[in-house]
Amino acid sequence: MIKWRQENQLLDNKYRNYGMHYTNPKITPAEKHHVDFGIAINQPIANNIYGVINKTIPQLRCAKARDIGSRYHNQAIIYLLEKWLPNSGEKLGDFPPIFHYVNVGTSVKPEQMITDVYLPLLEK
């Protein structure tokens, strides 16, 4: 993804960065872990050698929590799944959690990383 972004001059921080995690990397073997990484752009993506394609995150009803710190130890998803959801009366929707990586880049220290986590919920 980084190489594709470099080649297409899409490294500017004006492009929001997302991850949709279909499996939990803490309990899923690396070879079976499935995550889609993407950026928010309003243009078609040409065929490319990297397999980067256009996808759209559907409009969803979500719970949101913010994590500040290393993305390898995200506490927001743990809070949403283990504390908030069981006490909320809500049910999980049929879409993976969405991670919005608010600040990215080599100059961002792990303790300064900001990640907003959106937990899709069933429509009421």
pLDDT digits (tens, 9 = 90+) for 17-59: 999 999 988 899 999 999 999 999 988 999 999 999 999 999 9
Give the pLDDT of residue 45: 93
pLDDT at 13 over 80: no
Q: Which long-range contacts (CB under 8 A, 24 or more apart) does 28-35 make?
A: none
Instruction: Give the number of residues written for the chain.
Output: 124
Give the pLDDT of residue 10: 84
Report whether 45 contacts 52 (CB < 8 A): yes
For 74-115, write each residue's pLDDT tens digit. 999 999 999 999 999 999 999 999 999 999 888 899 999 999
Give the pLDDT of residue 76: 97
Instruction: Name the strand (E) or helix (H) holding 76.
Output: helix 75-78
Hunting for tokens 């872990």 — which residue is that?
A: 33
Give the pLDDT of residue 68: 97
Give the pLDDT of residue 48: 93
State the CB neighbour count (10 A cutoff) for residue 39: 19
Helix (H, G, I), strand (E, B) or coil at 70: coil
Report whether 62 contacts 118 (CB < 8 A): yes
Give the pLDDT of residue 20: 95
> Quick one: fold of 2-121?
Multidrug-efflux Transporter 1 Regulator Bmrr; Chain A (3.20.80)
Tokens of 83: 């504390």
Q: Where are the chain's structural domains?
A: 2-121
- What sign does the dihedral 80-83-84-90 (CA atoms) show? positive
